[in-house]
Amino acid sequence: MSLPFCNVALPLPLRTAFTYAIPDTLRDSVQPGSRVLVPFRNKSLVGVVLECVQHAPESTKIRDITKALDFLPALTPKLIELGHWIAGYYLAPVGEVFRAMLPPVTELRIERQIALTDSGRAAAHKQAVTTSANQQHHALLSQLAEKGGVMPFASVVKLGWDDAALQRLRRAGLIEIRQSMLGRKAKTQRVIAWKGATGLVAAAEQTPACDAKAEGVKSALQARGPLPLSQLLRVARVSRSVIERMLRDGLLESWEERVDPAEDPFDAGYVPPAHDLNAEQESALKLVRARFELGEFGVLLLHGVTGSGKTEVYLRAVQETLARGKTAIILVPEIALTLWIGRQCRAWFGARFEGVAVLHSALSDVERAREWWRVRNGEARVVVGTRSAIFAPLQNLGLIIVDEEQESSYKQEETPRYHGRDVAIVRAKMENAAALLGSATPSLETYHHARNGKYELLTLASRVEQRAMARVEIVDLREDFAKTHQTSPISSALQTGIQECLAQKTQALVLINRRGYSWSVLCRSCGAPVQCENCSISMTHHKQRNRLECHYCGSLKPIPKLCPKCQSKYVYFFGEGSEHLEERLRKEFPGARIARLDRDTARTKRQYQETLGAFASGALDILVGTQMLAKGHDFQRVTLVGVVSADSSLSLPDFRAAERTFQLLTQVAGRAGRGELPGRVLIQTFYPEHYAIQDAVKQDYLAFYERETQFRRVMAYPPFTSLANVIVRDADLQKAIRWSRQLSEYFSPHDGKGLRILGPAAAPLARLKREYRFQFLLKSPRRSVLADVLSGAMTYLELKEIPETAVLVDMDPLSLM
Ligand code: ADP
Ligand code: ZN
Ligand code: ZN
């Protein structure tokens, strides 16, 4: 029976869904989970149907759905349930929750396109045309060829072609009609060839003479054959305009070619290591298996020191899941790690890409949508990805693995502010699957649950093959300065260490916590910092890009020659970032092969692959980078890891500062000495006596856990208390103040009744993206108390007509900024 109305979540920051009528013609194609195009105010929006209903609310005028977009509903019923849970638990707008769960195409318009097929392209190039009908066809085909092989359906219609004629060409195999996402052509790439080479046109004799640049292009193409445009630009070192000119001059030809998704050069020649499990791994796996046999939900914590072979346990657990006819998700905290685990999974579980999908944000929208739909269509049964891969539309889920479960990158710091690990546990519960959390340094919350018996604890206490843990040494920067009177971020110990590495032909990793060249800019005369205009935070100097950037809102500024406040010319840059460190290392070790990996150098999958692949294969000696290098990587020839400033995270006003520092340093230490060569770690710090650093040196998780839990218990922080951070924000300061005051009136009667309410106070980031921010911190030992008061607050906002978007709730916040 089909119902006449449906409730649709729209990509808006609102806590409600909207009701639409389903026209009779669409009854069959609109189901819960389907994406639909609907009118909203004077726009068209893509939303997702949450449920079909018999009745519509009477007060409003109900409009019709314009179009159904999916043959197969994008979201499964289980995912809709999960979305509702997220919206409820995190008090997040339902529309934004579902937007985060859908594949990227949802906000793109879909367009019909006419594309040349291979035989169509050949026909377009043929000169001899006999009949007049053929002549007409030929005209269209050459027009298509001229436009690179693809034209929007609408433009073809404008040329006077009707549906029937196009269908004829399609049946003849000359063109295809496809659906595409507007403005996205990444599925195909433009390939350039030297015209003389293909034999299609013998134009070589009448071509104009080539200049030096054109000669470069010519020799590149003659040596390598046709090349994708982007590659040609790199190989021949010319600009796009050179190519365009040569195309106009008839020296080159170009066409669109599909990018083959099954080609990942990264996999070429890769043979996954095959190990027999050691006794510890075996007994961990046995417990996982026992959980599978029970066939019910459960959370397991795999606590294994760095280099203990956790990945091997993950892969076997996935293998057993698949053998039971179920599917699995592996979450990793960094895009870079999807490369290694993705490749291992492809080698283990599927010829080529079959069976394994990889999802993360360095993919283009088209790539991501394609991977997503492969999963939805049941073509992939294992998903490897970062945070949002927890929404992968797998059915019959048996196992969710969360690697490095303590990582803060699992927490989304924009709406919906969910924690990927916690959502993983909830999803596992909904699907009656097992959740396997893994870490060398579990979060206090997780380890606390394992201690209490809420989670099952599996332990790998030693490294594989009894390899030694790396030796960790502290470099006291105060002493170093006293000796050298230098302020270089590379201490003399680190300097010598790197030298030794280079001499032994092993590799070094050098970590620094900030990207950019300098992360602070200050006037020496008047002391004014150069802050972002939209945020109360210093801007970061990027030397290569020759500008200042705000890492919070993305705004850019030219580099000031004079102080914007007092016009003094003594503008001073300080606080060295990764770009600066790379420059220094190049200067100090001129013979070394050095690369840098951070968000500035790696934006696409390809860039990650190039740098990490080069380091792993030994083509680099030193790799400099930010946190993203600290975790998970298994580089076998790294014998030295240097941490330039270990304590910058300690000084943050945050109760998790010690935990974060301990975790980071222990993870970093875990990158050294993983192969047969012993490892050494140098930690530079100003606070060598801090327990987070001391315990990290000993790589003693339990000691740290005991000490830190004491502190949390006394101070009433998680895991002993639930927290919510509530931020009131507006571009107008007066409004932000007024609303904070109103919200405070609502909150204060609740204070003290099983709940502590701190604030309102100016948030540490008092201004962000042009908005003023005030903050309340809510603490309660009982989560339900917190949830009740907060949902009451939402009703109160409505009553007082405070806009929903002005109040932001961060449940279980990781950062209180
Ligand atoms: P972790 O994630 O615990 O830090 P990995 O899973 O990356 O450790 O494993 C570390 C290294 O040990 C890898 O190179 C892996 O191939 C190897 N390894 C795993 N299991 C075994 C084993 N049973 N015997 C020998 N080597 C192993
Ligand atoms: Zn000044
Ligand atoms: Zn900013």
pLDDT in tens, 95-140: 999 999 998 754 444 566 788 888 888 888 776 656 666 777 788 8
Nearest CA to ligand 1 atom 9: 309
Write the DSSP assignment of 278-291 as a string of letters: -HHHHHHHHHHHHH
Residue 308 CA: which ligand 1 atom is closest? 3
Beta carbons of 390 and 329 less than 8 angstroms apart: yes
Nearest CA to ligand 1 atom 16: 273
What is the C-alpha to C-alpha distance for residues 194 and 395, in angstroms, rounded to an integer?
Answer: 48
Mean pLDDT within 26-40: 89
pLDDT at position 261 over 70? no
Mean pLDDT within 750-754: 89
pLDDT at position 743 over 90? yes
Residue 404 near ligand 1, beta carbon < 6 Å: no
Kind plus residue range of the DSSP H or E element containing 123:
helix 118-125
Amino acid at 300: L
Residue 310 near ligand 1, beta carbon < 6 Å: yes
CB atoms within 10 A of CB 351: 9
Q: How confident is the model at residue 310 (pLDDT cuts 50, 70, 90)?
A: very high
Q: How confident is the model at residue 352 (pLDDT cuts 50, 70, 90)?
A: very low
Query: To test the ligand 1 pocket, which listed residue (301, 302, 634) has its Cβ within 8 A of the most ligand atoms?
Result: 634
What is the C-alpha to C-alpha distance for residues 47 and 67, in angstroms, rounded to an integer?
Answer: 11
pLDDT at position 206 over 60? no
Angle of helix 94-101 versus helix 77-89 axis, rounded to 10 = 130
Residue 603 near ligand 1, beta carbon < 6 Å: no
The dihedrals phi and psi of 736, each to the nearest 5 degrees, come to -60, -40
CB atoms within 10 A of CB 737: 15
Residue 267 near ligand 1, beta carbon < 6 Å: no
> What is residue 584's predicted lDDT score, i.e. its pLDDT?
94
Q: How confident is the model at residue 208 (pLDDT cuts 50, 70, 90)?
A: low
Sequence-separated contacts (24+) of 260-263 with Cβ below 8 Å: 261/353, 261/367, 261/370, 262/352, 262/353
> What is residue 262's predicted lDDT score, i.e. its pLDDT?
46
What is the C-alpha to C-alpha distance for residues 367 and 360, in angstroms, rounded to an integer?
Answer: 10
Distance 772 CA to ligand 3 centre (A): 12
Kind plus residue range of the DSSP H or E element containing 695:
helix 691-698
Distance 510 CA to ligand 1 centre (A): 23
Residue 667 near ligand 1, beta carbon < 6 Å: no
Residue 305 CA: which ligand 1 atom is closest? 3
Closest ligand to Cα 316: 1
Render pLDDT for 384-397 as a digit per residue (tens, 0 to 9): 999 999 999 999 99
> What is residue 188's predicted lDDT score, i.e. its pLDDT?
64
Distance 767 CA to ligand 3 centre (A): 9
Render pLDDT for 137-175 as a digit per residue (tens, 0 to 9): 788 888 888 887 888 878 888 887 877 788 788 888 888
Residue 278 near ligand 1, beta carbon < 6 Å: yes
Apex 443 CA angle, 438 and 449, nearest 5:
85
Cα dihedral 312/314/316/320 (nearest 10): 180
Range name among 39-48, 122-131, 316-325 with the lowest pLDDT average: 122-131
What is the C-alpha to C-alpha distance for residues 600 and 451, in angstroms, rounded to an integer?
Answer: 40
> What is residue 652's predicted lDDT score, i.e. its pLDDT?
67
Render pLDDT for 398-439 as a digit per residue (tens, 0 to 9): 999 999 999 999 999 999 999 999 999 999 999 999 999 999
Render pLDDT for 269-300 as a digit per residue (tens, 0 to 9): 677 777 889 999 999 999 999 999 998 999 99
Cα dihedral 163/166/167/172 (nearest 10): 170
Beta carbons of 39 and 88 less than 8 angstroms apart: no
Place of tokens 């980031």: 765
Distance 464 CA to ligand 1 centre (A): 6
Backbone φ/ψ region at 551: left (φ over 0), alpha (ψ -120 to 50), beta: alpha
Closest ligand to Cα 528: 2
Residue 266 or 783, more confident = 783
Closest ligand to Cα 532: 3
Give the E-state strand segments of 217-273 in sequence order. 227-228, 252-258
pLDDT at position 354 over 70? no
Distance 753 CA to ligand 2 centre (A): 50
pLDDT at position 28 over 80? no
Render pLDDT for 567-619 as a digit per residue (tens, 0 to 9): 988 888 888 899 999 999 999 999 999 999 988 888 887 888 889 889 998 99
Q: How confident is the model at residue 470 (pLDDT cuts 50, 70, 90)?
A: confident
Range name among 323-327, 477-481, 505-509, 528-532 with the lowest pLDDT average: 477-481
Closest ligand to Cα 554: 3
Query: To test the ligand 1 pocket, which listed residue (312, 337, 405, 439) has its Cβ within 8 A of the most ligand atoms?
Result: 312
Closest ligand to Cα 572: 2
Query: To test the ligand 1 pocket, which listed residue (271, 280, 282, 311) has its Cβ within 8 A of the most ligand atoms?
Result: 311
> What is residue 202's predicted lDDT score, i.e. its pLDDT?
40
Distance 274 CA to ligand 1 centre (A): 10
Distance 556 CA to ligand 3 centre (A): 9
Structure-token pair, residue 448: 């606390």
Report the candidate in 693, 694, 672 with the shortest Cα–Cα distance to residue 681. Answer: 672
Helix, strand, or coil here: 124?
Answer: helix
Nearest CA to ligand 1 atom 20: 309
Residue 87 or 479, more confident = 87
Apex 37 CA angle, 36 and 41, nearest 5:
130
> What is residue 63's predicted lDDT score, i.e. its pLDDT?
94
Residue 129 near ligand 1, beta carbon < 6 Å: no
> What is residue 742's predicted lDDT score, i.e. its pLDDT?
95
Give Dmax over CA atoms of the chain in angstroms: 91
Residue 281 CA: which ligand 1 atom is closest? 23
Mean pLDDT within 442-469: 94
Closest ligand to Cα 551: 3
Residue 30: partners with Cβ closer than 8 Å, 6 or more residues away: 6, 22, 36, 49, 52, 65, 68
Residue 275 near ligand 1, beta carbon < 6 Å: yes
Structure-token pair, residue 450: 């394992």
Kind plus residue range of the DSSP H or E element containing 20:
strand 18-21
Angle of helix 701-715 versus helix 691-698 axis, rounded to 10 = 160
Residue 275 or 79, more confident = 79
> What is residue 186's predicted lDDT score, i.e. its pLDDT?
44
Range name among 502-506, 617-621, 652-656 with the lowest pLDDT average: 652-656
Residue 247 near ligand 1, beta carbon < 6 Å: no
What is the C-alpha to C-alpha distance for residues 712 and 655, in angstroms, rounded to an integer?
Answer: 8
Closest ligand to Cα 271: 1
pLDDT at position 696 over 50? yes
pLDDT at position 520 over 50? yes
> What is residue 166's predicted lDDT score, i.e. its pLDDT?
81
Write the DSSP assignment of 579-629 as a string of letters: HHHHHHHHHH-TTS-EEEESTTT--SHHHHHHHHHHHHTTS-SEEEE-GGG
Residue 307 near ligand 1, beta carbon < 6 Å: yes
Residue 765: partners with Cβ closer than 8 Å, 6 or more residues away: 535, 536, 537, 552, 773, 817
What is the C-alpha to C-alpha distance for residues 4 and 128, in angstroms, rounded to an integer?
Answer: 58
Query: To test the ligand 1 pocket, which listed residue (270, 275, 406) has its Cβ within 8 A of the most ligand atoms?
Result: 275
> What is residue 105's predicted lDDT score, i.e. its pLDDT?
59
Q: Mean pLDDT, the chain, as a whole number?
A: 87
What is the C-alpha to C-alpha distance for residues 811 and 419, in angstroms, rounded to an integer?
Answer: 9
What is the C-alpha to C-alpha distance for residues 93 and 410, in angstroms, rounded to an integer?
Answer: 20
Angle of helix 444-452 versus helix 701-715 axis, rounded to 10 = 100
> What is residue 703's predicted lDDT score, i.e. its pLDDT?
96
Q: What is the CA radius of gyration of the chain?
A: 29
Structure-token pair, residue 612: 């990490």
Residue 443 near ligand 1, beta carbon < 6 Å: no
What is the C-alpha to C-alpha distance for residues 555 and 50, in angstroms, rounded to an integer?
Answer: 37
Residue 675 CA: which ligand 1 atom is closest? 14
Backbone φ/ψ region at 291: left (φ over 0), alpha (ψ -120 to 50), beta: alpha
Residue 413 near ligand 1, beta carbon < 6 Å: no
Nearest CA to ligand 1 atom 15: 309
Closest ligand to Cα 523: 2
Q: How confident is the model at residue 190 (pLDDT cuts 50, 70, 90)?
A: confident
Helix, strand, or coil here: 256?
Answer: strand
In three-state form (DSSP H/G/I as H, E/B as E, the rest C), the secondary structure along 486-540 is CCCCCCHHHHHHHHHHHHHCCEEEEECCCCCCEEEEEECCCCCECECCCCCCECE
Which ranges of 419-464 would DSSP assign to H, the alpha helix? Answer: 420-430, 444-452
Angle of helix 212-224 versus helix 229-236 axis, rounded to 10 = 120
Q: How confident is the model at residue 726 (pLDDT cuts 50, 70, 90)?
A: very high
What is the C-alpha to C-alpha distance for residues 431 and 433, in angstroms, rounded to an integer?
Answer: 5
Buried b (16+ CB within 10 A) or exposed e, 83-95: bbbbbebbbbbbb
Beta carbons of 573 and 520 less than 8 angstroms apart: yes
Range name among 8-12, 197-201, 304-308, 365-369 with the lowest pLDDT average: 197-201
Q: How confident is the model at residue 554 (pLDDT cuts 50, 70, 90)?
A: confident
What is the C-alpha to C-alpha distance for residues 510 and 627, in angstroms, rounded to an integer?
Answer: 10
Residue 636 CA: which ligand 1 atom is closest? 14
Nearest CA to ligand 1 atom 14: 634
What is the C-alpha to C-alpha distance for residues 813 and 370, in angstroms, rounded to an integer?
Answer: 33
Kind plus residue range of the DSSP H or E element containing 372:
helix 365-376
Residue 104 or 520, more confident = 520
> What is residue 441's predicted lDDT score, i.e. its pLDDT?
95
pLDDT at position 653 over 80? no
Closest ligand to Cα 550: 3
Antiparallel, parallel or unpaired: β 5-9 and 35-40: unpaired
Residue 18 or 348, more confident = 18
Distance 660 CA to ligand 3 centre (A): 25
Mean pLDDT within 520-530: 87
Helix, strand, or coil here: 689?
Answer: coil
Residue 47 near ligand 1, beta carbon < 6 Å: no
pLDDT at position 85 over 50? yes
Distance 607 CA to ligand 3 centre (A): 26
Apex 384 CA angle, 382 and 389, nearest 5:
105
Q: How confident is the model at residue 804 (pLDDT cuts 50, 70, 90)?
A: confident
End-to-end CA distance of the chain: give it in Å, rounded: 51
Residue 306 near ligand 1, beta carbon < 6 Å: yes
Residue 273 CA: which ligand 1 atom is closest? 16
Distance 522 CA to ligand 2 centre (A): 8
Distance 587 CA to ligand 3 centre (A): 32
